[in-house]
Amino acid sequence: MATTTVTTRGRDPRIATDPRVLIAAIKNIVSGYSASASIAADNAIVQLRPNPLATGITVTFEQMAMAETDTIQTAFQTALVGQRRMMVQNSLDAFNDLARAFVGIPGRKSLIWITNGESVNTGEADVVASMGTGQTSGRPSLMTLADAGVRANEYFERTWRLLNDSNIAVYPLDISDISNPAFTNPAARHRSALNRPFSEVTKLEQFADATGGSVCLRNNDLDNCLKRANEDSQDYYLAGYYAARSTQKEIWRSIQVSSNRSDIKLRARTGYYLRPAKPDNPKVAYSEVLGAIGSPLEYTSLPLEVKLDGQEASANDPAKQRFKFVLFVPPTADFISDADNSLNLSFAVVAKQSDGKPVAEFVRDASGALKPMAVADLSTHGFVIPGFVDLVPGTYELRCVARDNHNGHLGSLSIPVKVDGTGLHTHKN
């Protein structure tokens, strides 16, 4: 049975102590419609219920029951909003993984996204519409919901930037017409408090416009959508220009492409994100490195090579072998900042057992200003850093990640290794 905790601070203490109030409130929740509709239904139920109390306190009892009904309804709505936001975040994380995996592959890529739009709808507009015009005690404020919408937009903008960096055009294939929006799970016995979103198509169009793709709207014909994406990739122009970097924060620059010919239709990205000429926040860098370690895909925006450098007895534990390796970022990665001749690289290697459990790690940062001689050497030979992990004999997977903190580029490799006292191999992404 689902449970929820209701906070009663600042409210009439009788609401929390009188079990009849809670019973009446629970009985009032007979549907999953919006809060305003539920309140109206609750009022009707209370009016029809025989009054168990004296006439003088009946109104007070009904008011307490209504207040508790509203609180419980809002608690469930808040939980549903949180679940929806988590679903959206998981969907965007999947797009981010794909973008980072294919950014190192040249040329235009097409991504057919089969969806009904539900996974990218935050539902905030539905929540606002369902709040009604009644009292707002105990409910999320409109300012809170507006802030949630702003933060959700930041997630979308970050995803669109990564997709543009990877030159991936998204073609959403809208399959909402083959689903039944009126379906209700009989086990639930009521509809969700959040009705079917009305902003799904808008989000699909935004995905397509921001990446140079197009929506296969109200069309579950996969062949035609694939044909459209293939035709777009066969014949396209890639235009570019140099833009001054932002010094404060990441900003959106709009793009408008036009032609003097009236017989053609142009489709292009609607803009791009301009990153500041400074390293990312360390928390952001750390979070992205962790994401790369856990991703099933190999990230390709930063070239990375790993050489296994043999094994020897561990100096810390005689039961373990010291498994040595060398991480190499080639000069083609352009990891030296033009602004101040500095580098800022982060490296992480995690050894995992066959069940995915991490058992050892190696983490290093390399940053600082470089002298002209060092700049010349690294620009010619690349950057090398040795490392090791101490492991008992067995079979493992080494998940190796490197990040350029100047531009956010990530490279990763997964290497199967056997710890038995031998091994010399080189791997690259």
Over residues 253-306, the pLDDT tens digits come to 788 888 888 888 777 777 777 766 666 677 888 889 999 999 989 999 999 999
Decide if pLDDT at 145 tops 70: no
Which residues fall within 8 angstroms of residue 335, CB to CB, at 6 or more apart? 302, 329, 343, 345, 378, 383, 404, 406
Residue 34 identity (one-letter amino acid) = S
Q: Residues 139, 35: contact at Cβ < 8 Å?
A: yes
Q: What pLDDT, on the 0 to 100 scale, is given for residue 195?
A: 42
Q: What pLDDT, on the 0 to 100 scale, is given for residue 202?
A: 75
Decide if pLDDT at 226 tops 80: yes
Share of the chain above pLDDT 90, in %: 29
Query: Phi and psi for 111 in degrees, rounded to 5?
Result: -120, 110
Opening angle at CA 286, ends 152 and 120, nearest 5:
20
* Phi-psi domain of 330 (left: phi exceeds 0; alpha: psi -120 through 50; beta: other): beta
Local confidence band at 158 (pLDDT 50, 70, 90 cut-offs):
confident
Residue for token pair 């959508």 = 225
Q: What pLDDT, on the 0 to 100 scale, is given for residue 407?
A: 85
Q: Residues 337, 359: contact at Cβ < 8 Å?
A: no
What DSSP designation does 121 have? -
Residue for token pair 């959206």 = 88
Lowest mean pLDDT among 2-16, 72-86, 355-369: 2-16
Q: Which strands, in side-by-side order, build the sheet including 342-352?
A: 358-369, 342-352, 394-404, 409-419
Distance CA 48, CA 38 (A): 15
Q: What pLDDT, on the 0 to 100 scale, is given for residue 422?
A: 58
Note the pTM of the prediction, 2 decimals.
0.66
Q: Residues 412, 363: contact at Cβ < 8 Å?
A: no
Which tokens in the block code for residue 429?
Answer: 């992404």
Q: What pLDDT, on the 0 to 100 scale, is given for residue 366?
A: 93
Average confidence score pLDDT of the chain: 75
Residue 427 identity (one-letter amino acid) = H
SS3 46: helix
Query: Phi and psi for 130 in degrees, rounded to 5?
Result: -85, -10
Residue 203: C-alpha distances to residues 122, 159, 347 (Å):
10, 13, 36
Q: Residues 300, 101: contact at Cβ < 8 Å?
A: yes
Q: Residues 327, 399: contact at Cβ < 8 Å?
A: no
Domains of the chain: 13-178+195-230 (no CATH), 282-428 (2.60.40.2550)
Q: What pLDDT, on the 0 to 100 scale, is given for residue 230?
A: 86
- Pairing relationship of beta strands 321-329 and 394-404 according to DSSP bridges: unpaired
Q: Residues 409, 301: contact at Cβ < 8 Å?
A: yes
Element housing 276 (H / E) = none
Local confidence band at 252 (pLDDT 50, 70, 90 cut-offs):
confident
Share of the chain above pLDDT 70, in %: 62
Local confidence band at 186 (pLDDT 50, 70, 90 cut-offs):
low
SS3 367: strand
Decide if pLDDT at 425 tops 80: no
Distance CA 309, CA 325 (A): 5
SS3 113: strand
Q: What pLDDT, on the 0 to 100 scale, is given for residue 77?
A: 64
Query: Phi and psi for 55 in degrees, rounded to 5?
Result: -60, -35
Which tokens in the block code for residue 262?
Answer: 């009236």
Beta strands (DSSP E) in 231-372 are: 251-254, 271-274, 305-313, 321-329, 342-352, 358-369
| Helix/strand number for the chain, H first, E second | 10, 12
Element housing 91 (H / E) = helix 55-102
**More confident: 2 or 330:** 330
Q: What pLDDT, on the 0 to 100 scale, is given for residue 152?
A: 62
Lowest mean pLDDT among 17-26, 91-100, 297-306, 353-362: 17-26
Residue for token pair 């003088």 = 56
Q: Residues 226, 183: contact at Cβ < 8 Å?
A: no
